[in-house]
Amino acid sequence: MGIASEILSSLTNSTSEGEVANRPIRNALTVLFWPVALPYLVYKFVNMFRRRFGLKLRPLEGKVVVITGASSGIGESLAKLLYEDGCRLILASRRIEELERVKADLVRSRTYGPVYVPAIVQLDLADLKSVQSKTSEILQIYGYVDILINNAGMTHRGDVLGTSIEVDQRLMSVNYFGPLALTKGLAHSMVERRSGRVVFVSSVQGKFALPFRSAYTASKHAVQALADSLRAELTDLGIKVTVVSPGYVKTQLSMNALTASGEQHGQMDASTASGLSPDVCARKIVDAIVNGDNDVVISSLLPRVAIFLRGFWPDFFFWLMANRARKELNLSS
């Protein structure tokens, strides 16, 4: 009781007569102090002990988690966090060499507690015919999936009228139809077990549209609608659905964007370069999964304001977007 006595003494100490007079107050404060302080001190001690001896809290330990787009960016950061948390990872991407690199980096990394060597699956979401066979391949690894994270995606730079329909189709295949096909295949195993979570890594552009991003933002609006419908249909079957809508994240997404003609954009946009770290974004996604969130926006203030304006003051939002389109046209001319 030394700490409590010092604190209480500083509050009640004055003269020897005051000491006697204030003794009942000190006793009452002591009675109130310890029931509050003791649980907090125990909590701090347990956490210190866990950190000191590598016993981390791992709420997702042992879960079978599929991550698409795991070869770089947010997907790679998610793989690192979930590997450290003791998940059984199945990493999927088109680029098998990069998947091998990510897997090797994970296996070499320092972790605490039991970990599992990740499995890798080469997956091209644009090839819808192959997704079904890849779904079977994924299920053969552990027999089921606890969490599916639909993270893979691509973006676009170009005006609506000038963009070839092939580019529109490819964006919809990679960002919408591919994840839809994969979700259909894997969610059935979740329904059988009446347990699971489907995560869609969407974008703030799935909540409002920007000019010269039509194919991308249309595909992300479709993802948002799909997730909302799926959540309602599967809630009573024990399946949870989470939509995560990041703002700009510092990845290679804009570098790999398709232009109106289907060529690679090959430039890092200033907004992307100053965006959120993929590690920070991944941490927030994992937190959303652990917390059981349905819909999460991960962004700075400006996109949140845009979401608000689109819903509550649409005419003003449309005026702002028209001005933005004019400025972008002037810059490009």
**Quick one: which H or E segment has residue 189?**
helix 178-193
CA–CA separation, 197 and 317 (whole Å):
34
Residue type, 239: I
Among 111, 185, 99, smallest CA distance to 150 is for 185
Q: Which residues, in sequence order, are CB contacts of 39 under 8 Å at separation 6+?
A: none
Name the active-site residue from 83, 176, 216, 248: 216
Among 159, 155, 154, smallest CA distance to 325 is for 159
CA–CA separation, 260 and 312 (whole Å):
32
CA–CA separation, 200 and 183 (whole Å):
10
CA–CA separation, 23 and 217 (whole Å):
68
Cα angle 77, 81, 82 (rounded to 5 degrees) comes to: 115
What six digits make up the tokens of 100?
A: 């091998």
Tokens 């060529």 identify what position? 263
DSSP state of 238: T
* 216 is known as an active-site residue: yes
What six digits make up the tokens of 323?
A: 């001005």
The whole-angstrom distance between residue 193's C-alpha and the CA centroid of its chain comes to: 24
CB atoms within 10 A of CB 142: 15
Query: Contact, 187 vs 283, CB < 8 A?
Result: no
What six digits make up the tokens of 9?
A: 């003494």
The whole-angstrom distance between residue 3's C-alpha and the CA centroid of its chain comes to: 42
Q: HEC states along 187-241?
A: HHHHHHHCCEEEEEECCHHHCCCCCCEHHHHHHHHHHHHHHHHHHHHHHHHCEEE
Catalytic site residues?
216
